[in-house]
Each structure stands twice: as structure tokens, then as C-alpha cells.
A and B are shown apart, each in its own frame.
Chain A
């Protein structure tokens, strides 16, 4: 039986309560009659032989690019860059796609007699990965062959000796990227394309760039003009990256792009109920939900977090394509839509969402309040094509405990951003003007980014900018079950129950609003007609 497409349910009297993520917990909410619940398409069938598919893609590239074996020769300098810990979500069961792809690239390089090969984690301004995380992504064989010899490095956006300035785009944007990558005879970039934003020219132009380069598109103005940044053709974020990508290519950097699509099978069988439509829950699903829910309610958040972060997703690869960046990315984006697209008729007054424990920036860490905002307003709000799911002036209701809690190792500048910046203003433009540079150049954050496992000092700003379009668009944001102090610091409202949230929302959208709930996991993209 082929996977079913996405579905928009209209709630009636017979509709069972709807499952909401609530951080490391779940909530069941009975939504008002007439509400819509959007369900993602079911997972697409995976490739039956991923290794063969990868080999085929490398040997039959798309666009104006020779097959990979033809690009490899003795004496050349080969660099393989790959996506970092932020993808996929949750981290996938072994073997990770990066391992599968890179093993084949390395095999071909070895066959061609290429000796000078280096691997680079394209982490931009994200935190450095730990050894276990790298071993998970690459497999022990690759890690042991490269890491001990210093041939597996993590991009350092603050090392002036490891960066090269390639020039300015026609819009005056600096393009400064990893020197080793830029000066290689061939740069192979290995992507995991979980959402439509990933990949394309963004891979190199963002993943291997410096702050000097990133600031041209990671800013509130760009985000407000990206509607959404998940829709490449209406995204200023993408336009800037594409300009930079063109300059990178014109500078002679030879990029061989590899992009991979995953199905949306995000949780192992014990959590099957998460991805099912509630009215289709069987006895096993109900028992699994009750068991998990009751156990989590009795588990301190810290331990519940550990449990969830140990979960590995059974994601499977549905396609792989390689070759010239734009040709590859066009196919990848189509494939993302095939897995994630749901057609939705018209906008809604209230958009509700249950936020999970994880986002791209807190793998093995805490979803702090800034990341809560970013996950809801940056990611979920922007998962649309056409127009936002919620109308202008509408309300977003998110469900998450939003504790005033940060991981000081991973997110040190987030703490200061939350304490010092958001206490003064929540306006992204004011924040950018008044605070960004001092955080971006703070020597302590730079030290922690370069030597520890900290996100760059400017990263919380980017998370807040990610929310800029939503903040401009919405009439109010309400968090159900959030810590009042933390929610107020974000500039949002807090409600103890969904009923209270709907009551509060009625001040903005009237007493008979339309409500649409995005049912995750898995994630999906709304094609709003």
C-alpha cells in the first residue's frame, strides 16, 4: 500500500482529543469543533539499496558536472564538507547518511589515487561536535582514519588563517569561506536535506562561512523579506546565498554537491502513536501513549530530556542526487515537497502547535526559551509556501514548558542575550543595531566557540531574527504551560491551559476564530492556497 498523503481534518464531535508535544511531555487537547488539524504525509518508501543509489548518483551527476570519478586524480587536493549535528532530527540510527555517502566518495578517491583528503564539519557558527557525535555521523572507520591525523576538522569561522575572502557579490556582500575548502581542487559537500531550506548554495555559502559573510543574510531585514525561508523562490535568505554561491563558483571553487532526502519516519516503533492520526490509534498505541505519558509525567525533566535525546530516528533515505549545485537542489527540493507537502485551503485566525524537546540547535542539550521561540516562530511558522498558515494579525499558540534553563556549555551567549538583551527590547531590528556586534566580537564567546562546544556569540541573535517574520506578522503569541517569567521575557503571553489561551486569543481575533493545529511529528510543509 502506498503511503497516504497529508490530510486536513475538520474537528467534529466524534473527533478524539489531539496529541500535542509539550517539551519532554505530551498533552491531549480537545479542540473546538470546526478546528482543522493538519497531518503530515506518511513516510515515503525508502531506497531499497542506498549504497547502490549513492554510487549511481556519484557516477551520473545532474547539471553541468562530470561524474565524480572523472574529477578525481592523483596529486589533487580533495575536501569533503558535511552537515553538522543540527541534521537530521532526531539524529538517525546508524549508519548515518553522511557515513554512507562519504565512504563511497572516499572509496572513489582511493581508487583514483587521491592522497590529500580532508574532512570538514560545515558547522558555520554552530557548536563543535563531540567525538561520539562525529563517530555517530561518520562511523568509526572514517573517524579513526582521519581524526587522529588532523584530517577531520571542524570549520572555524573565527580563525583568520583558515579563511579566505573571495570578494564581494554584486550587492556588496562579503564572501569569506573556509580556506582549505576554497583552495581545494574539488570540494564535495554532503547534505542531509531535512527541510526545504537546507542545501543548495546555502551549503557552502553558509556552512563554511565566517561571521563577516553570514551577517549579510542572517539579519532581521532578510528574514522579514523571506516569505518564507522554506520557499527558495520567495526567500531573500536564499537570494543572498545564491549570489554568494555564484561568486564562489566564479572564484574557481569547484563544488560537487551531494544532497539526500529522508523520509519522515522520525521515531522508533515505541513512539508510533506520535505519528499516527488519533482516531486510528489501536489498543497498542493507546497503551504505548498511556505508558509513555504517565512515565514521563513522573520523570524529572532533566532525565526525561536524557531519555528523549537518546532516541535515534529510523529515518531512511528516499533519494540521493549529486552534481552541479542548482540542478541537484532543484530535484532535492521537489523531493522534500513530495514527502512533506500538504495542501491547505486558506489561512486561519489561530495557529496552534505542540513543540517537542528538540530543535536543530539543541541536540543533546536544552531547548532554552530562545530556541523555543525559534522553533515555533522561526521553523514551524515558516513551514509554508504561498502564504502563512495564520493570517496577518492572527495568533500563534504554542505548547511548551519553556523553562528558564540554559546549557552553559552549548549556549553561553544565549544566557546573556536572554538576561541582558531581551530585558531591554524584543524588537529584532533594535536588537541587531544595539547589541549584535558586541556579542559577535566578544572574546569570551569566541574562545568558547573555538575551543569548547559553544554556539558562537552571535547565534542567539540569529535565532531571534529567525522569528522576525512571525513577530512582524502576528497579533500575539501565547505559550500554554510555559514558565511565566521566561515567557514574559520573550515578550509573549502565558496561559495555563489551551482553554485559557483561546480565551486570551479572543481579545485579538474575536470570539469565533478559526483554529488550525499543525500536528507534529513528523514535520511537514503547508502549501497554503
Chain B
């Protein structure tokens, strides 16, 4: 069976990086990613499951890795060769019991929470972060019984979603797909969880003005999270910058109060906040800005439109960026990262803290986020799929996925 395998190969890295100058994903055919015959990965232990992917998303971080734009920071927390794909909905080959104690029958559809923290690595006692439910911040992601890898899809031992041969997942990583959920709903849960975690990291207060920079999958899901999870308690105003017309339409549908092209966002924030302008930045500005892009430009823009003592939440995966931090120092800004997910302070009906994925599953239903899946490709058309994903905004798409259900690809 076929799988897309990412190998450590410097000439191919270089070729891919050069090709990416012509557009993200353009290096698929000449880069370190290859479609190879593969066997299902070995199950590392009795509490692991083998899973056959149905849909697996192409994420911005996948494209950055493929394009050679990822930070070298990640070098020691991935292991080669790996099969990418961390946004995965699949079917369990065997039965078992998930993290919550639910009995799972063979053939059950499950979503993977891909972080490979202490539990999958059988590290006891867990690190303080995992111990407190913040699996995304696990300190042991390069240690334990499986290969280094911050997530499934970046780990040589687990496989990844871009594989017809399947992958393995620890019981702590499995979430049963709710009844009535389509595969598209399910595959969008992972990026939605990132957005939920980001929105909850914003420390948004009643009446706040919030700006969202970027309207790809993460940006749109962040807007939905703000609208459904934050606004009811805060009545915050959400402004969003979206480059393409379909992104603007979706951003409005997701609940943004004002949606404008990115170059107009600072002016819209200024109007909303009633701010003055000094040296190209707002004297007042948004209380919280979510940077869902992670580039030098987006961070610079975020820092220029946030109020003094405001908060910039970095949601999109950055690499090495060049940003003038003088305003951060002078205006006492808070710059925080929002990576992945874990357990949130939001509580369930019994007062128990809820996992981000649970909140994300609810949000996908509330906001209809499955509709963000715009195109699906079979694995053998991976070059086309990656180019499409790299130009998703321009081509009127949001989320592009691989369809491993033995169907031909489709565009929605």
C-alpha cells in the first residue's frame, strides 16, 4: 500500500525550497516527500490501535515543512523518515478502550489528537505539563518508547495520515467521532482544536475589541471559536483581515463583525477603537490580536494594531521572522504562543475541566466547520493536492485533504 514518506535528504530539501519560491507546495515532486510502498507501522504496545485513515488534512505546518520553510527548532523533535498527516479521521482495525474508558468496537471512526506526550510514550510519572493536562507542552516529546516526534505525522514510529497503509495511535489520542458527524466534520476537528485553544488563550475581557489576522483554516476557525465560546460572556467585537473574497464571506458567516482585506484591517481597528495613529501604529488599538499567519509581516501588523498592554496571540506557526520588538517593549505588550491543545479551564456539566478536542468537536457542530473542507484528492495525486493547498486562498479553497476512502478526489 502507498504512503507519502518524508525523508531526510538534503539535496531534495534544497530542491524543494527553491521550487517553493514559485508557490507553496510546488516542491512536492522534487522534494523530500515521495509516494512509496509502505507496510502498516508496528503497534508499539497493547494500548495502541491501528487506524486506517479516511481523510487526512494538509496543514500549513505540513506545507512549511515540505517547502523547507520550517524553523530548525523542530529538527530534534521530529524523526525521519516520517509519514506526514496529523489531521486525521480514520477507522479502527481492532477494538479497545479509549482514554475516557469508552469501549471502541472494530470499525469505529475516530479522530486522532496527534500530540505525542508522556502517555503514548509510557513515561511514568508524566511531566508536569502532561500531569496538568497540557499535553501540547509535554517536555518528553523526544523520549520514551517511541521515536522523537512532537506529533503523529512527524514521528517515524507512528506513521501519519497521508498513508493508505494506516498509522498507529495510542488510546490517549483517540476521540470517537460523534454520530451524525461527516468525515469532513471529523477531519476539521484538529485545526479547530488549535483555534479553540488560541481563543481561550486570548484572555479576552468584556467589551474587548479583537482582531484576527489571516483567514485560512486557522483564522476562520479562530473567528468561529471567538464567536461561539468567547463572545457570549464578553460581547467582544471581532474584526478580521481576509485576503480573498470567499474568505471574507466565510469569515462573516463564522461571526466576524467586520471583515476587510488585510491592508485595511489596521484602519478598521483604528475606527473601532477610536484610536490615534503614531509612527504607523495605533496609539490605542485592539485589546487582543490573533496572528493566524505567523509571518514577519503579520506579526508586525499585529504589533502595530494592538493597544498598549494588549495581547498578541501567535496562532499560525512561525519560523524565523524579523520583527521590530521596540513597540513590544515600549508599549508593554504581551506576545503569547498558542500551540495545539490539551485541557482547558472551561468546565463540563460536572465541573470537570474539558479537553480542547471535546470543545472543538462541539464547535465544529455549532459552526458547521466541516464546510471548510473544500477539496479532496487521492494520495496518488499528491503533487496536485499540495499545490492546491499551497494556493488555497487564491483558488477559492480553505482546507484541502487527502481522501483515502478509495474514492476519486473531488472539489466542493
A328 CB to closest chain B CB, in angstroms? Answer: 43
Asked whether A438 is an interface residue with its Cβ less than 8 Å from the other chain, the reply is yes
Among A19-27, A167-175, A267-275, A440-448, the stretch in contact with B: A440-448
Across-interface contacts of A419 in B (CB, < 8 A): 260, 264, 267-268
B108 contacts A by Cβ under 8 Å: no
| Chain B positions within 8 Å of A416 at CB level | 267-268, 271
Give Cα distance in the complex from A444 to B264, angstroms: 16
9-residue interface stretch from B161-169, B273-281, B293-301, B366-374: B273-281
Given contacts A419-B260, A420-B258, A420-B260, contact A444 B275 (CB under 8 A): yes
Task: Known pairs A415-B267, A419-B264; list 4 more (Cβ under 8 Å).
Answer: A419-B268, A420-B264, A420-B271, A444-B276
Of the listed residues A415, A442, A444, the one surrounded by the most CB atoms of chain B closer than 10 A to its CB is A444
Would you call B270 an interface residue if the criterion is a C-beta within 8 Å of the partner chain's C-beta atoms?
yes
Question: Which of B260, B268, B270 is the one whose CB lies under 8 Å from A444?
Answer: B270
- Please state if A420 and B268 are interface contacts (CB–CB under 8 Å): yes
Residues on B with C-beta less than 8 A from A447 are 276
Interface residues of B, count at CB 8 A: 11
| Interface secondary structure of A, over-half rule | helix
How would residues 444 to 461 of chain A score, 1 for a CB under 8 Å from any chain B CB and 0 otherwise?
100100000000000000
Which residues does chain B contribute within 8 Å of A423, judged by CB atoms? 260
Q: Whole-angstrom distance from the CB of B298 to the nearest CB of chain A?
A: 20
In the bound assembly, the distance between CA atoms of A416 and B264 in angstroms comes to: 8
1/0 contact string of A480-494 vs chain B (CB within 8 Å): 000000000000000
| 26 chain-A/chain-B pairs, Cβ below 8 angstroms | A415-B267, A416-B267, A416-B268, A416-B271, A419-B260, A419-B264, A419-B267, A419-B268, A420-B258, A420-B260, A420-B264, A420-B267, A420-B268, A420-B271, A423-B260, A438-B271, A442-B271, A442-B274, A443-B274, A443-B276, A444-B270, A444-B274, A444-B275, A444-B276, A444-B277, A447-B276
> In the complex, what distance in Å separates the CA atom of A128 from the CA atom of B38?
74
Q: Which B residues are CB-close (under 8 A) to A438?
A: 271
Which residues between 157 and 210 of chain B lie within 8 Å of chain A, taking CB atoms?
A: none
In angstroms, Cα B268 to Cα A219, docked, is 24
Question: Closest Cβ of chain B: how far from A417's Cβ, in Å?
Answer: 10
Residues 402-425 of chain A, each 1 if its beta carbon lies under 8 Å from chain B, else 0? 000000000000011001100100
Within 8 A of A (CB), among B233-286: 258, 260, 264, 267-268, 270-271, 274-277
Q: How far is the CA of A444 from the CA of B276 in the complex (A)?
A: 5
Which residues from A are CB-within-8-Å of B271? 416, 420, 438, 442
Query: How many angstroms from the CA of A438 to the CA of B260 in the assembled complex?
Result: 19
Chain B residues near A415: list those with CB within 8 A.
267
Q: Which residues of B contact A (CB under 8 A)?
A: 258, 260, 264, 267-268, 270-271, 274-277
**CB-CB < 8 A to A443: which residues of B?**
274, 276
CA distance A415 to B260 in the complex (A): 13
Contact partners of A420 in chain B: CB under 8 A: 258, 260, 264, 267-268, 271
Q: Which 9 A-B pairs have the closest CB atoms?
A: A444-B276, A419-B264, A416-B271, A416-B267, A447-B276, A444-B277, A443-B274, A443-B276, A420-B268
**Chain A residues in the interface with B (C-beta under 8 A):** 415-416, 419-420, 423, 438, 442-444, 447
Residues of B within 8 A of A444 (CB): 270, 274-277
B175 CB → nearest A CB, Å: 40
CB distance from A403 to the nearest CB of B (A): 16
Question: Could you tell me the distance in whole angstroms from the C-beta of A436 to the nearest C-beta in chain B?
Answer: 13
> Interface centre among B258, B267, B271, by most A CB within 10 Å?
B271
In the bound complex, CA of A416 to CA of B268 (Å):
7
Complex Cα distance, B241 from A420, in Å, reads: 13
Compute how far the CA of A419 lies from the CA of B258 in the bound complex, rounded to whole angstroms.
Answer: 11
Complex CA distance for A419 and B259, rounded to whole angstroms? 10
In the complex, how many angstroms separate the beta carbon of B34 from the nearest chain A beta carbon? 43
Residues of A within 8 A of B267 (CB): 415-416, 419-420
Shortest CB-to-CB span from A231 to chain B, Å, is 37
Complex formed: what's the CA distance from A438 to B272 in Å?
Answer: 9
Chain A residues with Cβ under 8 A from B277's Cβ? Answer: 444
B284 to chain A, nearest CB (A): 9
Q: Give, as a whole number of angstroms, the nearest-CB distance from A6 to chain B.
A: 45
CA distance A116 to B277 in the complex (A): 39
Report the bound CA distance from A423 to B271 in whole Å: 15
**Nearest opposing residue in chain A for B260, CB measure:** A419
Bound CA–CA A412/B355 (angstroms): 47
- Alpha-carbon gap, A109 to B347, bound state (A): 81
A443 to B275, CA, bound (A): 7
Task: Please give the distance in Å from A326's CB to the nearest CB on chain B.
Answer: 42
Least CB distance, A314 to chain B, in whole angstroms: 41
CA distance A443 to B268 in the complex (A): 14
- Residue among B260, B276, B277 with the most chain A CB within 10 A? B276
Q: Which of B267, B268, B275 has the most CB of A within 10 A?
A: B267
Cα separation A441 to B260 with both chains bound (whole Å): 22
A419 to B270, CA, bound (A): 13
The CA of A419 and the CA of B263, in the complex, are separated in Å by: 11
CB-defined contacts of B258 to chain A, threshold 8 Å: 420
Complex CA–CA separation, A443 to B270 (angstroms): 10
Question: A443 CA to B271 CA in the complex, in Å?
Answer: 10
B283 to chain A, nearest CB (A): 9
Which chain B residues border A442 with CB–CB below 8 Å? Answer: 271, 274
Q: How far is the CA of A415 from the CA of B263 in the complex (A)?
A: 12
Q: Which residue of B lies closest to A439 (CB)?
A: B271
Q: Complex: how many Å from CA A442 to CA B277?
A: 12
Q: Chain A nearest CB: distance from B161 CB in Å?
A: 40
A420 CA to B270 CA, complexed, in Å: 12
State the CA gap A303–B312 with chains docked (Å). Answer: 41
Q: Measured between alpha carbons, how far is A447 from B270 in the docked complex, in Å?
A: 14
Query: A173 to B276, alpha carbons, bound, how many Å?
Result: 31
Closest beta carbon of chain A to B39's beta carbon, Å: 54
A426 to B275 Cα, complex, angstroms: 26
Q: How far is the CB of B184 from chain A (nearest CB, A)?
A: 31
Chain A residues with Cβ below 8 Å from B260 are: 419-420, 423
In the bound complex, CA of A420 to CA of B271 (Å):
10
In whole Å, how far is B243's beta carbon from the nearest beta carbon of chain A?
A: 14
* Contact partners of B274 in chain A: CB under 8 A: 442-444
> Which residue of chain A is the closest to B259 with respect to CB atoms?
A423
State the CA gap A218–B6 with chains docked (Å).
67
Chain A residue with Cβ nearest B263: A419
Of chain A, the residue at the smallest CB distance from B276 is A444
**Assembled-state Cα–Cα distance A438/B268 (Å):** 13
How far is the CB of A134 from the nearest CB of chain B, in Å?
Answer: 26
Smallest Cβ-Cβ distance to A423: which chain B residue: B260
Shortest C-beta distance, B393 to chain A (Å), equals 18
Q: Which residue of B lies closest to A444 (CB)?
A: B276
> Which A residues touch B276, using CB under 8 A?
443-444, 447
